């Protein structure tokens, strides 16, 4: 049985992509890049400390100013296993609550191959090593540009 050409891949779109497309149809809810307040820097420091305390590996921060309006900072980290990735994510969620920020949106906590923690101005990706290598977000977001740094 053949499907119409226009509907071929619709059922295979990841729920995260669907959410991104739905959100892209609306104007951003947070300030335009470059206008983030001092609390964004405090939250980044808190997130980085939390990742370090959780023994996350290969932590990378990417400044997104001028690249996208999705967020101001993207942080990418690796956990050694599904259990480690889940533990890191749970600790990050607790850190947001401890800083009295709005609870972040979280995707991928069920499988813990790749967990996305969306804190509005900060997006944190936590991967298992093989999954991180496959998606290679650092290359997609041009990690080699000046102003971006590698931690760890």
Beta-bridged to residue 124, according to DSSP, are: 75, 117
**Which tokens go with 67?**
């690249």
Per-residue confidence (pLDDT) for residue 24, from 0 to 100: 54
Provide mean pLDDT across the span 47-66.
90
pTM: 0.67
Helix axes 82-98, 38-53, angle to 10 degrees: 140
Per-residue confidence (pLDDT) for residue 141, from 0 to 100: 75
CB atoms within 10 A of CB 91: 14
Burial (CB < 10 A; 0-12, 13-18, 19+), residue 19, is middle
* Higher pLDDT, residue 55 or 102: 55
Contact by Cβ (8 Å): 143, 117: no
Closest CA to 71 of 25, 26, 114, 34: 34
- 96-142 pLDDT, tens digit each: 888 777 888 999 999 899 999 998 889 999 999 999 999 888 877 76
CATH fold of 37-150 reads: Beta Polymerase; domain 2 (3.30.460)
* Higher pLDDT, residue 64 or 93: 93
- 10-28 pLDDT, tens digit each: 455 556 566 555 655 544 4
């Amino acid at each position: 049985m053949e499907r119409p050409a226009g509907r071929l891949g619709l059922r295979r779109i990841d729920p995260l992509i669907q959410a991104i497309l739905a959100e892209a149809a609306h104007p951003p809810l947070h300030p335009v890049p470059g206008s983030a307040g001092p609390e964004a820097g405090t939250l980044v420091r808190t997130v980085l400390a939390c990742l370090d305390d959780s023994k996350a590996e290969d932590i990378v921060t990417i400044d997104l100013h001028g690249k996208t309006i999705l967020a101001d900072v993207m942080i990418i980290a690796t956990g050694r296993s599904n259990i480690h990735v889940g533990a890191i994510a749970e600790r990050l969620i607790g850190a947001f609550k401890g800083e009295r920020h709005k609870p972040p949106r979280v995707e991928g906590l069920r499988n813990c191959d790749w967990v996305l923690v969306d804190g509005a101005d900060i997006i944190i990706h936590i991967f298992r090593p093989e999954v991180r290598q496959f998606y290679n977000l650092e290359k997609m977001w041009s990690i080699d540009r000046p102003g971006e740094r590698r931690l760890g």
